Structure formats: structure tokens, C-alpha cells
Structure 1
Amino acid sequence: MSEGDGKDDALARLLRFVLTAGEAKLVDGEGLRAADGRRQPLAPAVLARALSLGLLRRDGARLSPLPEARAHLKRRLCDAQTPFAGQHRDITEVTVLCDGARERAVANRLESPLASLGRLKEKSGEAYLPDGAFAAGERLHADFTRGGLQPKMTMSWEPRIASRQKGEAGAGRELTDTALAARLRVARAIEAIGPELSGVALDVCCFMKGLETVERERQWPARSAKLMLRAALLALARHYAPPAKTTRRSHVWGADGYRPDLLR
């Protein structure tokens, strides 16, 4: 490890200590001391570097973090190749299906507006979106992606005039069976949600629009998209996992001496 890496590690330890403590006090001969009694040694050169970079504020013997301190620490802990992009990510491990087999993968929880909504809590402490509703939204997004329904973000170099011969199939012939099946599942899901709620589900789950953007485009009242999306995902969850039907035995009321007719 080089000398520069050692200084960066010491600076990262200092920032982590001050950020978790909220405020730390400089004690002669001891280094730093937090309000909860935790202590950490501190080199004067590391403190001088943190102050010169605008990461900490010193008020006498007290140190407090500045807004840049948290972003600087996240860049330090992220991948060295993409530090500035990494500070805006919330990476977590997930399990995905790939060709019928379960594999481990990493996902950015801040990429999808549905993921941020899934972290909301009710006043009672329960999740705002039930697990079934959140999984239904993720499943709709997966089918939408497999079906190739996302709008193209780059120029298409395909010729405008089709080169197929007369009587041949159209563009659908190039779709795989997996893509066609995914498109069929998306169509059935939209039909199950209904025309009143399917639009907000597509905007948030498939086109990755934020709730504020949906409200502005549809001219809805503030915080109404969250309620509409919850209703849409609950309906979608019932479509993917319909509740079990309870069968009741039929009863026939009859007077005294009544006997049913037997089928011959």
C-alpha cells in the first residue's frame, strides 16, 4: 500500500467517526472523543487535510461534518473506477432467474422509483407496499423488458423500406418466443389492472418515471400518484397470484317430509 492510500484510509476513518458521532471533540493526547464515549486517535496531518478539503468544520475543540463529507466518504468506499457515479447508488445483492436458474446479481436500489416507494413505511411501521404488490411491479417491469417494449434511446440504422418479399411475415418474425410470451403477459396484466390504473403502473414500473413526473404529466393532485400506484399494484398482485376460491355447499330448504328427486 502506498503512502497516499494510507492517508486516504486515515481520512476515511476520521470522516466515518465524525459522521456517525454527529460531532466529536478534540482531546489533547487522546485524539477524538464522541458524545457516547468512543475514542479514536488522530494525526494532525489528517485533520489538517480534512479541514483544507472542506470536509469538516472546526469550532474550537469541536469537529462537525460538512455536507461534502458524506459524499467524499461514499466515493472513497465505492469502486475506484467510478467513484462519482458510485456515490449516487445504493447497491444490494438480489437473486434473479437466468435461463431457468437462480443466480446472484447486484442491483441499484435508487435506480427504480418503485424501489424507493417500496422503502416507505406506514405510521404503524408496516410497509406501504405489501411484498406481493412490490413483486408484481418488478415482474411487470421484467416482462416489459423481455418483450423489448422500451423506447429506443439511440438512432436506428434499420432501413425504412422492408426488404422482405411478398407474403412474408412482418417485423414480428424477428421476435423470439420468449419476447412474444413476455408481450402477451404484459397485455394480460394491463387488462387485469384496468384502463383507469394501468397507465400509472406502466409509467412507474416500466418507463421508470417518478411519481412527481406522473402527477405533473397527468395533472393530478400532489401525492395522488402514490395512492393510484398502490391500488394498481394490488390489483396486479391479485392477477399474478389469484386468491383461492372457497366453495360452499349448496343447501335446499324443504318442509317436513320433503325428499329430493333422485336423478336416474
Structure 2
Amino acid sequence: MSHTAHIRSHRKPRRNASKIAMRAGVAGGVLGTLAVAGASGSASAAEPVTQTLELPTLTADMAVQVAQSAEVTQQAAANYQLQAERDAAAAKAAKEAKADLADAKKKAEARKKAAEAARKAAAERASRAAERTTLSASASASTPAAGSGASASVSTGSSAATGSAAAVISFVKAQVGKAYVSGATGPSAYDCSGLVLTAFKQVGISLPRVSQDQSTAGTQVSLSNLQPGDILYWGGAGSAYHVGVYVGDGMFVGAQNPSTGVVERPLSYDPPSGAVRVL
């Protein structure tokens, strides 16, 4: 036996095994409870974090979709506007092309009419020249010798004109020297029928415009019975190609051609085919 065994303070008390087990169980239970609670708390704390992370992702996707939709809509609107502008430009171009075509047709028609008028005038002048050559040849064959007087078929009386006849004669003589222009009726130029038309208009008499109709406008008179103011014509009555005005004393005034213009000439210069009287 130890020499200190009898001292109490130096003895180690014995632990009861059951108590130790109980204490271990309590401790284990407390630790388990804490672990469960911690895990539960961690789970509870983690759940909001998971939701918070998902919400920004969903919101960003929606924003991208909205932006893409807006971009598509804007592009479609721009395409519609561009198409509308193209359609408007095409319609304007078509309208201008139609107007240009109509204008070109009018100009072409005007040129065609002018060319036709020039052709007819040239043909009329050529026919008139040929007819005059024929008439001149006939007149030369039937004209008496020099000094024996004028042809018996043409009167060269010098009876004085009065009234309307005097006014017509005064007018045509005042036009001598002016230009010959096909289709002109004065005041600076005339063609043959234009001069006769305008002259008789001075005394209130309205005549047809062309020589063919003027050659039948009044009463047919014989060339041997001419009076001042009678209308002379060359060619057939109703188909005359030239007209003039008899002014007395064997003279006439007429717009002859572009070379001579309006002239006063003796009947022997270009003997007429016939005459009509409207005064």
C-alpha cells in the first residue's frame, strides 16, 4: 500500500461508464441538432440566392427579345417607306414619260403637216409655172404684130374705177413690192389668194380662202369685157391655180411667186384664163 493512499485529495475518482455514455449521447444529440439546424438554415438561406440569380437571367432574355422585336419592326417600317418612295418615283417617271411622248407626237404631227403644206405649195408653184408657160406660148402665137394693139380677146379699156372697185384697186396697188409667202394674208406678205381675200375684205366682201374657190365666187365675165376690180384667174374655173385683180388699163396686180412677190404687170405678161365679177 502506498504511503499516500490514505490521503483523499490525491485519489482519482472513478468515472461511471453510464454517465459517460449519457454525456456522449447528449453531446452527440446536441451536435446533430446543430448540424441539422445548420443544414436547414443553410438550405433556407440558399433558396433566395438561387431565385435571385435566375431573375436577372430571365429579365435579360426578355429585354433582348423586346429589342430584337423593335429592331425588326423598325426595319420593316423602313422597307415599307423605301418601297413607297420607289413606287412614287416610278409613277412620276411614268407620268413624265407619257407627257414627253404626247409632246413628241404633237411635234411630229406639226412637222408632218408643215412638210405636207410645203410639198403642196411646191407642187402648186410647179403646176402654175407649167401652166403659165403653156398659156404664154398660146398668147404669143395669137398676139398681133407689134404696134397693132393688144390681143382682141383681152380688153385693155381704161374705164375709171369708182366706189368699192376703186378701194380694192387702191389697196392692191399699195401692196406692190411686198413678199410672197405661201399661206400669208398680210400685212407684210401674201400669197395670190391671200392678197385677193384681204383686198375684198376692205370693202366688206368675204371671199373663199383658196384660188380654186375664188375662181367661181362671182359671175363669170369675158376677158373682152373686163372692168377694174374683176378677179382674174389662171387655170380652169373651180380648179384655178392662181388669181389676181384687174386694175384697168390692161394691168393686173397679183402676188406672183417668192421671187417677184406682189407685182403690177400687163395682161400680156401672163394672160389669164378667165375672170369673175363680185362688185
* TM-score normalised per structure 2: 0.19
Q: Which has the higher helix share?
A: 2
Larger gyration radius, structure 1 or structure 2? 2
Q: Which structure exhibits the higher relative contact order, with contacts defined as CA atoms closer than 8 Å and separated by 6 or more residues? A: 2
